[in-house]
A and B are shown apart, each in its own frame.
Chain A
Amino acid sequence: MKKLSFFVRRICVFLLFYLLLSPLFSRPVMALSSSVAFQEVVSGMVTDVDGEPLAGVTVVVDGSDLGTVSGLDGAFSVMAGPDDLLVFSMLGFQTVSIPVNGRDAVDVVLEEELTQLGEVVLNAGYYTVSEKERTGNIATVKAEVIDKQPVDNPLAAMQGQMSGVNIVQNTGVPGGGFEIEVRGRNFINGGTDPLYIVDGVPFGSQSLGSNDVSRDIVNADISPLNAINPNDIESIEVLKDADATAIYGSRGANGVVLITTKRGKSGKTRFDARFSSSLGRITHFLDLMDTGQYLEVRREGIVNDGFGDFLENPGFASFWPDVALWGDDRYTDWQKVLIGGTAYRNNAQLSVSGGSEGTQFLVSGGFQDQTTVFPGDAKYQKASVRSNVNHRSGNDRFQINLSTSYTHEDNLLPRSDLTFKAYTLEPNAPELYDENGNLNWEDNTWDNPLATLEQKYQSRSRTLLANALLSYSIFKDLEVRASMGYTDYRMDSDKILPSSSRNPSLNLTPQSYSNLTTNASRRSSWIVEPQVQWKHHWDGFGLDVLLGSTFQQQTTSQLVMRGRGFPNNKLIYNMAAAEEVEALNSLDTDYRYNAVFGRVNLNILDRYILNLTGRRDGSSRFGPGRQFGNFGAVGLAWIFSKEGLFSESSLLSFGKLRGSYGTTGSDNIGDYRYLDTYTVTGEDYDGVTVLSPTGIFNPLFGWEANNKLETGLELGFFRDRLFINASWYRNRSSNQLVGIPLAATTGFPELTGNFDATVENSGVELDMRAVLLRTDRFQWSTTFNLSVPKSKLVRFDGLENSIFSDRYVVGKPLSITKLYNSLGVDPETGQYEFEDYNGDGQITFTEDRQWIEDLAPEYYGGLGNSIRWGNLTFDLLLQFKKQLGYNTIRYKAVPGYRGNSSVKLYDRWREPGDMESVQVAASGFVIGAGQGDIQRRSSAAVSDASFVRVRNITLNYSVPGLDGLDVDVYLQGQNLLTFTHYDGPDPEQTINNQLPPLRQFTLGLKIGF
């Protein structure tokens, strides 16, 4: 592992340097002609301390512009005079100066810089920048870290790793989606999705799932990012501040996530294989009532509501079959039955890479097969193939890089997530199957939850990503490039509802009932980005200028159909057999985007760095005359540790102060919103399709604007063994696109327009890295990140009269929820009581929800440790978050209603004088009686949902002594332990009706040669 990554880095650094510096040495012949008489060829080998040859080391004859770069075997040869001084340098290694002293062979050993920080190179999208010289805020996760996590989605690999990036996994069902917020929520009406760029190509991350097909199983949120195999990723960078994001202009407001995939490396052909198997289970079962408790409370509720006399009357048994018919002795822990299974996950990855100095390749393939914790034969399968070819022409002028990846996902699931059923099914509910093995309907007294297994859901996604980067050095400092890409994402999903999956007593027939719903969706896009880059270095002064333009088109289509009435259930997948077919949704949109962008980077004495970026954007989402907008940023950095004052300091090895300010935007508002339009609603009147007016002509809206301000301080101590990066930011988003309410007499409730409302997100982020111990056999390093975000709605004129008055308050964050203030249970009446804010004697929705809680995290972060001892490596990542969340009261606040609930509701009020926090039991038959619905929306429904989670533990053993064969065996635990006071299923996502993320144990084997 260590060796591999070292090799990877070496080659990367080599490639990069070769690229950057090659123009410098492109005219050695001319130089020779002037001083050939005094010079001899000096050659030699550059190796590291282990004797491994080092490629890509820059060798310069001091005081001249002569030089070369060491080859793959570490060899170099350079023309130098006998008294010259040779300077050997390479990123991550200490620079060494060696006098020639008349020799013709000089062998050199370079020592690695005593730190893992080194000169990390970051991908900033259109350019790369060294970590030390960056002026913007860019967070990164490298392959070493991603590789250690047994996850399906790149976003999962980022959780807890980066400051300022808050990621929540929405569901433990495979194929589901994630919520991501980079530095909070900026827009009142828009999403928080950042812009995703995969190898330079924008990748649409929005789900094309349809509510009609997949709402019940994955909340219609099917993440297209699942198609990107985390094992193929070299690095993920998140651009956070104006300096880093402004070059993405109108799409940078929510941050930019850059995903770079692995590339082939020159050297001998290498084969890598990896196999792993995981076992996944629910982390935590809820504490629910048992049969005794449940029936006691249930009967009490029925009696309390005055139906006690009917309780023993068989004529009323059908009103409460759980009490009257199912028996007091049955008990089933439905959580065990419905979501208590083990999800198996098998994963195999193979890759071949290698190549010559001029051409490298990588071909990889992966296959994954995953089951779920649900009963039945649900499974998720993913196969991916990727190839990458690099070529550099002999004169180093022309370079081409081609990548293609194709992923096929097949997801076969029950139609609905059984989690909510598992939490709410009566503990004495009947057997699932009768003696004959058929679904048991218990005389039609219940809905058998396993019927959903017959109601199958499947989705099939195919994702193609292809990109090419061509570059040509016209002359020494000038390079022209063209980046081109194509993405195609197709998702077909369907679900069936056969009559046989419903209670037979309903007498549903295939002809009258069975239905099939399908969703055929496709999103494809192409992009072309021609660019010119001019770089020049004078003595102590460097200038780097980039100019480029973008043409992009994206088309999205979706067709959701439902067929009802089939001759029999065997034909249910044949839409042509349906008696009645209706199109529920038909979408076809075209989005075009065009921009010019540029960057000017000025570097003086390697101490003072000025970075200017800008973009002029045009988007088809806006009306004529409003399509273009300008965005830009300025970034400054002062590497003060290079000032004389600090040069002798042994304590402080690096110090940088940086700052940036700029504007980005968001056009994330949907297509065609400026047009006055009629839309097919999918309804019909008397056989005539309904066309409904959906927009008033509204050409006046434009970009949402987002101003970002940031300052940062970066400090390295003890030769960078301890590195601290602290930043403060303040983002202000204005010109918010919101629906401006209109009087009903206009025929429309609102008009989308730019509204003078301002949202401010500010915060402090801290990243620390340290090598705590380092000896030959033992190394212990640690990383830590912490984010303390703050958010508030600074300004919103007319909020009280807008549709947002229910949700937002000026001066508070957008993440608030307005609640009633629960005062507990009145000891006399046994009913919940609430604070009557306006004192009118009534508890009303509009006036008395004055209790405000913020559900965004107060702070969050991660703590990582990596310990290497000989051939053993141990990694531990802790994730923590301080936050509030909805507890189980949010879902049920009244004891006695049909359906199981948290055992907390058992300790209820029974008679006057009781001091309990739960109200008197009720039957649920008296609609609107009791205050349960208000309690569910009250301060009692929110409680602490902070947690510390052992997100990942990896134990890896590299088998020694196998000549030329790298074998690693590893054991991983993902989401192992959670420390929390939260009473719901999982504090990460406080939604009680979706499967929480699973705990996984993985055993894996890696072989490389």
Chain B
Amino acid sequence: MKRIKKFENIRWEFLGYRLVVMVFILALANCTDFVEVDPPKNIMVSQTVFEDASTVESAMADLYFSMRESGMVSGNYGFTTRMGIYSDELDYYGFDVQLVELYQNQVLPANTEVQTWWSEAYTVIYGANAIIEGVESSSVLEEADRNRFKGQALFVRGLMHYDLVSVFGDVPYVTTTDYRVNSAVSRLPEVQVLERIESDLLMAVELMGNSDIDNMERTVPDHFVAKALLARLYGYMGKWDKAEDMATDLMSVFDLEEELGNVFLKGSGETIWQLSHGELPGNTQEAVQLIIPLIPGQSFAMTDGLLAAFEDGDLRRTEWVDSISDAENTLTLYYPYKYKARFNATESLEYSIQFRLAEQFLIRSEARAHQGNLVGALADLNEVRNRAGLVDVVVHTEGELLEAILGERRIELFTEQGHRWFDLKRTGRAAVALGALKPSWEDTDLLLPVPEGELQANPNLLPQNQGY
């Protein structure tokens, strides 16, 4: 200012004033506040999602949606068809190299179907962990909502790990959303994975036990669903007493449908958990995948072995199986007809059923047999048989009974979530059953390969499963 004064020019002061204003404006220039924006309305920052029960509900919906659309649970890419051809339920008529690999038990570590199962499962697990962490740190949610959401997320986390462990063996058990931890996780021995699943599910039962949700369509998991998975898990682990308890609990609430034709309708009374329908006019993806509308054009059809396994007079053979012939009548193919509608324009009649009571009867039957309660076991088994129009089974030993239960499981649960494959695997019969049928069968085929790219991305996952 001194210098300016020296000019003693009156205009300078005026100019100086303007300059100050200008400098002031420019000084404002780099204000950090200006470039900080609120998040957009269609995107939610994680924290805000967990401030309202309805948005948590939406985050949960993403998990169910993802499970239905892709991955091991889904009707279009899941166990139902894939493990159906991997075992002896379905023949594959298509040309998809990835599926041919599964059909011939020649899966390569780069198989994209298997890769997707792995990555989709962990994507859903991330979502579940985000919800668990989110509701735990939320100070706004009510206690009941918090428990319900956490229980559901724990169930989903358990289910995903259960599916993973059953096809890959040792897998990482992921319980956080931190990508730095998760990108370097190691595989946990199968036994420990099963224990972690058990504790997640038990906690889920406890958290959801008090919740009384209006869930007539059984499309959202509650504590019954967690129990149904626990029963399956205990069977897998050989904890038969606990398996029986769980199944018994469920039988007090659900009843078997009397009519076979109603079992796979969305209003079926024996459904414990089902995934709601996708975009109309779709019904279930299971129906789209399995029903053959035209030859040629078929992808999957029932194997001769499966067809032969039905006893004479089994109503399931007529109610749950259908066939189609080509124009020349030279080829007739049989396909699962549990789900009956590929499309339905106005309203979906069938949902994708994940757990139903018939399985629980067979679990309890097997559990009782293992514990020496042959009468009880037979009663449960016959309950399922009688519904299918079959007479009571006659067995003389525990071994025969177990054989009969497995046979019944093969028929009752055919082409549902790969039950046949997992039965063969857990009872050690896969080599016998498939070795003769599939020329390229090897005993290491009990496990699928961990995706190649994953071993590269995270070397802590090494070594690869044997045989790959």
Contact = CB atoms under 8 A, between A and B. Distances in A.
Contacts of A744: 118-119, 122-123, 451, 454, 457
B49 A595 contact: no
Interface stretch (A132-140, A165-173, A462-470, A581-589): A581-589
A712 interface: no
Contacts of A618: 30, 32, 34-35
A620 interface: yes
Contacts of A694: 43
Given A596-B26, A618-B32, A747-B127, A587 B61 contact: no
Interface stretch (A518-526, A670-678, A958-966, A975-983): A670-678
Interface string B426-463: 00000000000000000000000001011011100100
Nearest to B41: A588
A677 B30 contact: no
B43 A746 contact: no
Contact of B37 (A590, A681, A697, A747): A590
B210 interface: no
Contacts of B30: 549, 594-596, 616, 618, 628
A593 B36 CA distance: 9
A816 interface: no
A745 B127 CA distance: 12
B148 to A, nearest CB: 14
Given A590-B38, A628-B30, A745-B122, A530 B217 contact: no
Interface in B39-97: 39-46, 49, 55, 57-62, 64-66, 68, 94-97
A593 B125 CA distance: 37
A762 to B, nearest CB: 34
Contact of B220 (A580, A684, A686): A686
A694 B39 CA distance: 13
Interface in A591-607: 591-596
B62 A693 contact: yes
A99 interface: no
A474 B37 contact: no
A382 to B, nearest CB: 31
Contacts of A801: 453, 456-457
B46 A690 contact: no
B265 to A, nearest CB: 16
Nearest to A598: B26
B4 to A, nearest CB: 12
Contact of A745 (B11, B18, B32, B458): B458
A747 B125 CA distance: 7
A684 B66 CA distance: 11
B388 interface: no
A899 interface: no
B34 A551 contact: yes
A595 B179 CA distance: 34
A678 B46 contact: yes
Contacts of B407: none
A444 interface: no
B36 A624 contact: yes
Contacts of A587: 40, 42
B183 interface: yes
A620 B36 contact: yes
Interface string A830-860: 0000000000000000100000000000000
A751 interface: yes
Interface in B180-222: 182-185, 217, 219-220
A: interface residue count bin: 35 or more
A26 interface: no
Contact of A677 (B26, B46, B60, B65): B46
A385 B170 CA distance: 70
A62 interface: no
Given A475-B15, A549-B29, A748-B126, A692 B35 contact: no
A1005 interface: no
B43 A679 contact: yes
Contacts of B59: 678, 691-693
A870 interface: no
Contacts of A590: 37-38, 40
A743 B42 contact: no
A855 B174 CA distance: 44
Given A676-B45, A686-B220, A692-B62, A747 B40 contact: no
Contact of B185 (A671, A692, A745): A745
Contacts of A676: 45-46
A480 interface: yes
B26 A547 contact: yes
A588 B38 CA distance: 11
B296 interface: yes
B61 A677 contact: no
A690 B61 contact: yes
A690 B55 CA distance: 9
Q: Which of B29, B34, B68, B174 has the most CB atoms of chain A within a 10 A radius of its CB?
A: B29
A63 interface: no
Contacts of A532: 22, 26
A691 B42 CA distance: 10
A591 to B, nearest CB: 7
A696 B130 CA distance: 10
A314 B266 CA distance: 41
A932 to B, nearest CB: 13
Contacts of A680: 42-43, 58
B346 interface: yes
A530 B26 contact: yes
A746 B220 contact: no
Q: Which of A588, A684, A685, A690 has the most CB atoms of chain B within a 10 A radius of its CB?
A: A685
A527 to B, nearest CB: 13
A685 B68 contact: yes
B313 to A, nearest CB: 36
B62 A751 contact: no
B15 A696 contact: no
B179 A696 contact: yes
B36 A595 contact: no
Interface string A626-657: 01100000000000000000000000000000
Interface in B331-353: 345-346
A394 interface: no
A928 B95 contact: yes
A586 B219 contact: no
A925 B345 CA distance: 29
Contacts of A588: 40-42
A748 B123 contact: yes
B177 interface: yes
Given A512-B346, A744-B122, A801-B457, A675 B35 contact: no
Given A677-B46, A678-B46, A743-B454, A690 B39 contact: no
Given A596-B29, A596-B30, A675-B45, A741 B182 contact: no
Contact of B58 (A595, A672, A691, A748): A691
B45 A677 contact: yes
Minimum-distance CB pairs A-B, first 8 = A747-B126, A549-B29, A928-B95, A744-B119, A686-B276, A691-B58, A685-B61, A743-B458
Given A595-B30, A685-B64, 9 more contacts: A475-B15, A549-B26, A587-B42, A618-B30, A678-B45, A691-B59, A745-B182, A751-B179, A928-B96
15 contacts: A474-B15, A512-B281, A677-B39, A677-B43, A677-B45, A678-B43, A679-B42, A691-B44, A691-B49, A691-B62, A693-B59, A744-B454, A745-B454, A846-B110, A928-B95
Interface of A: 315-316, 474-475, 478, 480, 512, 530, 532, 547-551, 580, 586-596, 616, 618-620, 624, 627-628, 671-672, 675-681, 683-686, 688-694, 696-697, 741-749, 751, 801, 846, 925-929
Interface of B: 11, 15, 18-19, 22, 25-26, 28-32, 34-46, 49, 55, 57-62, 64-66, 68, 94-97, 110, 118-119, 122-123, 125-127, 129-130, 172, 174, 177, 179, 182-185, 217, 219-220, 276, 280-281, 296, 327, 345-346, 451, 453-454, 456-458, 461
